[in-house]
Structure 1
Amino acid sequence: MNFKTITSFTLALIASTSLVAQKSNKKAQKPNIIYIMSDDHTSQAFGIYGSRLAKLNPTPTLDKIAKEGIIFDNCFVNNSICTPSRASILSGQYSQANGVLDLEGELPMERQYLPIELKKLGYQTALIGKWHLEAQPNFDYYNVLTQHGGQGSYFDPYLTETEMPYAKPDAAKQLGKQYQGHSTDVITDISINWLKNKRDKNKPFVLFHHYKAPHDNFEYAPRYKDYLENVEIPEPASLYDNKNNGSIGTRGVNDALIHDIGSSVSKRNTIRSQGMMLWDKNSVKNSDPNFDPAKKIRDDMSGRDYTHATYQEYLKRYLRCVKGVDDNVARLVAFLKKEGLYDNTIIIYTGDQGFMLGEHDYIDKRWMYEESMRMPFFVRFPEKIKAGLRTDAIINNTDFAPTIIELAGGKAPKQMQGHSFKKVLETGKEPKGWQQSTYYRYWMHMAHAHANPAHFGIRTKKYKLIFFYGKYWVDTQDPNADWNKKSWGNRFTFDTPAAWEFYDLSKDPQEMNNAYRDPAYKNIIADLKKQLVTKRKELNEEDGAKFPHIQKVIDAHWND
């Protein structure tokens, strides 16, 4: 073999070895993760979920991302209110296990298991935007909204950054640094700046990118004031006729409580309705200084005309906030593509819960009804997830943390109650033995002006069973009945009847007929009650030891 041949062979060997090494390094490289969560962005306000609003094309960017990955049709929250949902996402635990039952709940740094585990796996962690969990975030970098108890302001928001002394959000103080502009734009700017200038580029990253929008009072960026202005927004039939939805637990005996329970679009709720809030010019002055509610919603309008006008304005404000989110996600995607990060980054999108957009004449969340309980959820990662997948596998927000940890190459700690659905992501199919139901519990009985009774229940793919146990509230003989006065202690916290509701979702997806008393479902309901008992025991959700006054109500009405 001559020198020339030896040299050629050596160079070829080096090139081959280098190629193998490159492939090996590429294979060993951990994917980046961006978890995007918007506040109250419900599944009705997407194209991909096919609701009455889909034809308005409210989310073209998000729909495109979703179609390039997997879409979940049965993703649910376990407690439909901001702070408890976020606590479950970070801890992988249900509310009673992680201790965050209500809006004043606090998740200490040592129990923020998700970022802790991701750090162990070599990830640089960041959280930007809405936090709403009181205690200091356990992330390598954070920059979080601090005004209004952590809710933040839509315009010119204050945020607290890692380098600053951390103080719990205070509704009476302006903490941190003030940024100019609309919060959706500001949060995106900060995230892009962190990705470009502040992260350690030698490490994989996980970025929790949290928008305030589209939380009420739906203060959209001024550039959207004409968006949908001349469009008639489709209305849900249940806005005007709720048929046999509900029970004495939600309506009172002979509908005696319909003016108190559940904030409304119409004038039904005399304590809190969307029309009352729309009359407040200050709620939209930064979005549209020329807005005059009296031109659109007059108090002397007839009931149906008033409800129609209120609904139209409500939905347009909400969807303008959604439009801002969608456009800003487009900005984030454009940056990732420019930096060559897009295809090696797992993109997850969700809301922190669902939201009622006039269904059953309700606004806000809290309910176990579908629109409030269902979360949008989709994931894009072309290396592992085929485009165009869709699944009806049941997941809930306690499952997010175990899944993200497994995607990052780890294993969820034992204290997490959720389950990883990584196999579902990669195949679109449920593994053998996958959960066939999900548990729900709302604790804040008749809290705030929204006034929703406390309840819990179970949802399968076909059925939903709900128990409203609000009657416990006035058990003044039991010292344990003294609850969080800051969050729940107002004049709306009164006694409500205990009651059951059952819906056959295969025949009644809009939940218009409470069929609990229908003898045709007697055996199905009995089986669901057995499943509910088992699930509550597995999740340590039973009330006998901690809340005996609640258990008394459960025992007294279990067989009603």
Structure 2
Amino acid sequence: MKYHSLFVSLVVLSVLFSCEEKESQHNQQQPNIIYIMADDHTTQAFGIYGSRLASLNPTPNLDKLANEGMIFDNCFVNNSICVPSRAAIMTGQNSQANGVIDLEGELPADKQYLPTELKKLGYQTAIVGKWHLHAEPAAFDYYQVLPVQGKYFNPDFRVQGDKPWPENEIQTEGHSSDVITDATLDWLKNKRDPNKPFFLMHHFKAPHDDFENAPRYDEYLADTFIPEPESMYHNGNNGSEGTRGKNDSLTRIIGSSVSSRNLIRNQAMNLYTDSTVYKQYRNAADIRPDEYVNWEMSADERKHTSVVYQEYLKRYLRCVKGVDDNVKRLLDYLEEEGLLENTIIVYTGDQGFMLGEHDYIDKRWMYDESMRMPFFVRYPEKIAGGTRTDAIINNTDFAPTLIELAGGTTPSYMQGHSFKSILETGEEPEDWQKSTYYRYWMHMAHKHGNPAHFGIRTNDYKLIFFYGRYWVDTDDPDAKWNKGSWGNDFTRHTPAAWELYDLRNDPNEMNNVYADPAYKGIASDLKQQLIELRENLNETDKNYPHIQKVIDEHWND
């Protein structure tokens, strides 16, 4: 019996060791994944996207990384504002499906699908840096995240601990881009399980406003003239009554500006801390009737606008420089430790950003500078270097793709689609999506003055409908909303209007051709596609009858 028991024990141990060995081999075969995301890092501020700023070489390290993998030229956000974009990335769903339509939305642990699905595949998960989804990132094995927006200097972080979320905090010293990278490197070196593949989300705060760079970059670009967008001075036929008002009557309050055009919020108010205008934002209700005069770019105003733009861009690009240098720190560590080749590295921004185009600042708009996201992936084992694609993807596609790259399958509850085959073959499948949907819900928010709108973008055209209403019916005396939310003009109804851009002939969106009879058939076809997209994505307005009323009244304008 003793010999029999010993034999059985040896067999059991042999099986266990065999299973452990197979698990170890499986883990070794699974790639690590590092998802790097900067805040408001727009495609104009790279070398690889060939913008007017490319000659400044603003991102040498990121360009090198991108050229070692695949670059996406048509990656778009579905809602160009921080919290909804991040929710879409985490869930693979659009705003109504995941419940996060504006900056006040939060994403509970049971909807933090991306880390949850990767943990099922054996991954150790971590997030470091900006989170901004309000609820505890409890689906991650490890987190060290900024409180809401966080600070540029000496940032505090929320961490796991004995107290309930969000009471466990640590204090740090230094610039956020450096400190976030320090924290990521510390986790990689000292806190992860080296026997498991890892999924790490490394999220910078930079280059979000107020554009505070580390002091070592103070002289960067100091004596350089930053190329300026022509549309900052001459906006052509961009926009509509929805963005300008009838006879340009609303240009003084819609769309925060580089110039002095917007009386409520313009960039000089954000930049000059020692001036009388710093943070002296106005309220729309206080704008006098005699101030609603048509805007003219005089010679003096042009000089002022150029000075403000130069300061704006230099501060922004100094923050970008800090991101670029810190990405190199991370890549250098991976290479030194032999982790680089078995790690999928993704780089993106949470949306685009207006750098003076059309005399706009910030994001929120469906115009390409705001809607387009930088996106590239390096993984030499499966993705050929030096490749790029014009296949249309959006941020709901990220989670399905990462799950499939990790060896899983896209969950049925996700609305996005995996583009794994595009990464691995360089070919766009015949049945791949030919358009992407966009919706901005935060009507006239935060003194930026962006009317609510939705639309569809294809490779050739963009159709936008400005419906000009807040998602809560502010005309209903019993309606409830956050009336203490800073800088909002939710109760203002702005005109409904359509915009159509021929992107092949007008890539800078300078000529709204919606009223051109030659484009009537194209507009009609895009409207039909838009109806189908909204229904398929659960993005209709059946739950918002006051908005649906506007849509019905103006659909055939």
Matches within 5 A, 1:65-84: 65-84=65-84
Shift of 1:280: 1.8
Shift of 1:164: 5.3
Q: CA RMSD in A?
A: 2.3
Please name the residue that 1:533 is paired with. 531
Deviations 1:482-538 (A, max 9, x none): 444344773464110000000000000000000000011100100000000000000
Question: Could you say if the C-alpha distance between residues 27 and 185 of structure 1 is closer, same or farther in structure 2, counting changes exceeding 3 Å?
Answer: closer
Does residue 516 (structure 1) correspond to residue 529 (structure 2)? The answer is no
Question: Could you say if the C-alpha distance between residues 168 and 255 of structure 1 is closer, same or farther in structure 2, counting changes exceeding 3 Å?
Answer: farther
CA distance in 2, matches of 1:184, 1:448: 26
Question: Could you say if the C-alpha distance between residues 264 and 164 of structure 1 is closer, same or farther in structure 2, counting changes exceeding 3 Å?
Answer: farther
Indicate if the aligned counterparts of 1:35 and 1:207 stay in contact, CA closer than 8 A.
yes
Question: Which amino acid counterpart does residue 557 of structure 1 have in structure 2?
Answer: H
Question: Which amino acid counterpart does residue 319 of structure 1 have in structure 2?
Answer: L
Please name the residue that 1:342 is paired with. 340
4+ residue runs of structure 1 moved beyond 6 angstroms? none
SS in 2 for 1:456: strand
CA distance in 2, matches of 1:353, 1:474: 25
Please name the residue that 2:295 is paired with. none
Shift of 1:161: 1.3
CA distance in 1, matches of 2:473, 2:433: 36
SS in 2 for 1:85: helix
Aligned counterpart in structure 2 of residue 302 of structure 1, from 300, 303, 321: 300
Shift of 1:412: 1.8
Identity %, equivalent residues = 70
Question: Which amino acid counterpart does residue 44 of structure 2 have in structure 1?
Answer: Q
SS in 1 for 2:538: coil
Deviations 1:304-349 (A, max 9, x none): 1100000000000000000000000000000001110001000000
Please name the residue that 2:12 is paired with. none
Deviations 1:416-446 (A, max 9, x none): 1000000011111111200000000000000
Shift of 1:118: 0.4
Question: Which amino acid counterpart does residue 220 of structure 1 have in structure 2?
Answer: N
Indicate if the aligned counterparts of 1:471 and 1:497 stay in contact, CA closer than 8 A.
no
SS in 1 for 2:523: helix
Question: Unpaired runs of 5+ in structure 1?
Answer: 1-20, 170-174, 286-299
Please name the residue that 1:13 is paired with. none
Shift of 1:453: 0.2
Aligned counterpart in structure 2 of residue 547 of structure 1, from 524, 544, 551: 544
Question: Could you say if the C-alpha distance between residues 432 and 484 of structure 1 is closer, same or farther in structure 2, counting changes exceeding 3 Å?
Answer: farther
Question: Could you say if the C-alpha distance between residues 61 and 444 of structure 1 is closer, same or farther in structure 2, counting changes exceeding 3 Å?
Answer: same
Question: Which amino acid counterpart does residue 406 of structure 2 have in structure 1?
Answer: A
Question: Which amino acid counterpart does residue 251 of structure 1 have in structure 2?
Answer: R
CA distance in 1, matches of 2:454, 2:306: 32
Deviations 1:217-254 (A, max 9, x none): 00000000000000000000000000100000000011
Question: Which amino acid counterpart does residue 544 of structure 2 have in structure 1?
Answer: F
Deviations 1:169-191 (A, max 9, x none): 9xxxxx71110000000000000
Matches within 5 A, 1:369-518: 369-471=367-469, 476-478=474-476, 482-487=480-485, 490-491=488-489, 493-518=491-516
Matches within 5 A, 1:268-347: 268-281=261-274, 302-347=300-345
Question: Unpaired runs of 5+ in structure 2?
Answer: 1-20, 279-297
Q: TM-score, normalised by structure 2?
A: 0.89
CA distance in 1, matches of 2:380, 2:182: 26
CA distance in 2, matches of 1:334, 1:556: 58
Does residue 167 (structure 1) correspond to residue 165 (structure 2)? The answer is yes
Question: Could you say if the C-alpha distance between residues 116 and 479 of structure 1 is closer, same or farther in structure 2, counting changes exceeding 3 Å?
Answer: farther
SS in 2 for 1:62: helix
Please name the residue that 2:131 is paired with. 131
Does residue 215 (structure 1) correspond to residue 216 (structure 2)? The answer is no
Does residue 95 (structure 1) correspond to residue 88 (structure 2)? The answer is no
Question: Which amino acid counterpart does residue 380 of structure 2 have in structure 1?
Answer: P
CA distance in 2, matches of 1:123, 1:268: 51
Question: Which amino acid counterpart does residue 320 of structure 2 have in structure 1?
Answer: V
Question: Could you say if the C-alpha distance between residues 234 and 401 of structure 1 is closer, same or farther in structure 2, counting changes exceeding 3 Å?
Answer: same
Worse-matched range after superposition: 465-474 or 242-251: 465-474
Please name the residue that 2:144 is paired with. 143
Indicate if the aligned counterparts of 2:447 and 2:487 stay in contact, CA closer than 8 A.
no
Please name the residue that 2:555 is paired with. 558
Please name the residue that 1:186 is paired with. 179
Question: Could you say if the C-alpha distance between residues 91 and 486 of structure 1 is closer, same or farther in structure 2, counting changes exceeding 3 Å?
Answer: farther
Question: Could you say if the C-alpha distance between residues 432 and 481 of structure 1 is closer, same or farther in structure 2, counting changes exceeding 3 Å?
Answer: farther
Question: Which amino acid counterpart does residue 226 of structure 1 have in structure 2?
Answer: E
Aligned counterpart in structure 2 of residue 267 of structure 1, from 260, 267, 279: 260
Question: Which amino acid counterpart does residue 545 of structure 2 have in structure 1?
Answer: P
Q: TM-score, normalised by structure 1?
A: 0.89
CA distance in 2, matches of 1:281, 1:415: 51
Please name the residue that 1:16 is paired with. none
Question: Which amino acid counterpart does residue 113 of structure 1 have in structure 2?
Answer: Y
CA distance in 2, matches of 1:481, 1:392: 44
